Amino acid sequence: MSPQVSANSTASSRRGLLRGMAAGGLVAGAGLTLGAAPAVAAPRRASRRSSTWVAPNTPALAIRELFVEGNARWKIQAQTHPREYAGDRTPLVTAQHPWAMIVSCIDSRVPPELIFDQGLGDLFVSRTAGQVLDEAVLGSTAYAARESSVKLIVVLGHHKCGAVKAAIDKKDNVPGLPNPYPARLTFLTNAIAGAIPPAGTPNRENVAINENVRRIRNQLLLEPDIAPRVAAGTLEVIGARYELDTWIAHQIAP
């Protein structure tokens, strides 16, 4: 094949790819309302750390950094991938100062560091199916609360949570469940069962997901290592939810 033919073929392939992308109907700047199609922007090259960035030093600033700044970048595919490079890794060998903790689900589609566009040394993260609490998770949150640098604890649920769906199926005794039901899974479904509304409740699964987040948040607020700092205003515990279809993380009303 001659160089000219090869070049023409390459150009043709590129034009075809561009036409395919245009036909996909990707629109930048879509609205932030739930259910809206995700906004799309041209991906940015991963940027190195900014020398002007300062870690949030209040709960309000931590909420802003996660939900207003970080998740907004994720939603439009404009992540900066901050605090990942050698200049960030080296100081973390001797000390870390995370400013928030995320108590989240194990779901592979909801990694907190990615959906909030945060880097090394920023977040403590504890992940269990359905955000279910046990002694290890409670101990981890107690440790985070004792760290003065942590200003925020986020209980993060998500759209289409498999653990919540399993708890609903178990509660309804749907056909085809294992018999006997595995003991370890029973621990998870029992922990979520109290958040499930009666059968026939409209939007039942989503109601259960939100209520599960609220119940976990309320339990954390009673912890002796957390409550005093919340009362003093130096720590806040909030519930939140991530939508798989719109890529939005948003707070859930208490």
> For 37-92, how does the pLDDT look when each residue is reduced to its tens digit (9 = 90+)?
565 554 444 444 556 789 999 999 999 999 999 999 999 999 999 999 998 999 99
Residue 22 has pLDDT above 80, yes or no: no
Find out whether 122 is annotated in a ligand binding site.
no
Instruction: Specify the number of domains making up the chain.
Output: 1
Tell me the average pLDDT across 169-194. Answer: 95
Find out whether 105 is annotated in a ligand binding site.
yes
Range of the domain at 116: 31-252
Asked, for residue 111, whether it belongs to a domain, the answer is: yes
pLDDT of the residue at 169: 97
- pTM (two decimals): 0.81
Cis peptide, bond prior to residue 254, ω within 30 of zero = no
Asked, for residue 21, whether it belongs to a domain, the answer is: no
Find out whether 245 is annotated in a ligand binding site.
no
Q: Which contacts of 64-67 are long-range, i.e. CB under 8 A and separated by 24 or more positions?
A: 65/99, 65/100, 65/116, 65/118, 66/100, 66/116, 66/118, 66/152, 66/154, 66/249, 67/116, 67/240, 67/249, 67/250, 67/251
pLDDT of the residue at 147: 87
CA nearest to 83, candidates 72, 67, 99: 99
Asked, for residue 93, whether it belongs to a domain, the answer is: yes
Asked, for residue 236, whether it belongs to a domain, the answer is: yes
Asked, for residue 26, whether it belongs to a domain, the answer is: no
For residue 237, the domain's CATH number is: 3.40.1050.10
CA nearest to 125, candidates 66, 170, 64: 66
Which residues are within 8 A (CB) of 163 and not within 5 positions of it... i.e. 6 or more apart?
A: 105, 129, 130, 132, 188, 189, 192
By CB neighbour count within 10 A (0-12 exposed, 13-18 middle, 19+ buried), where does 136 fall? exposed
Mean pLDDT of the chain: 86
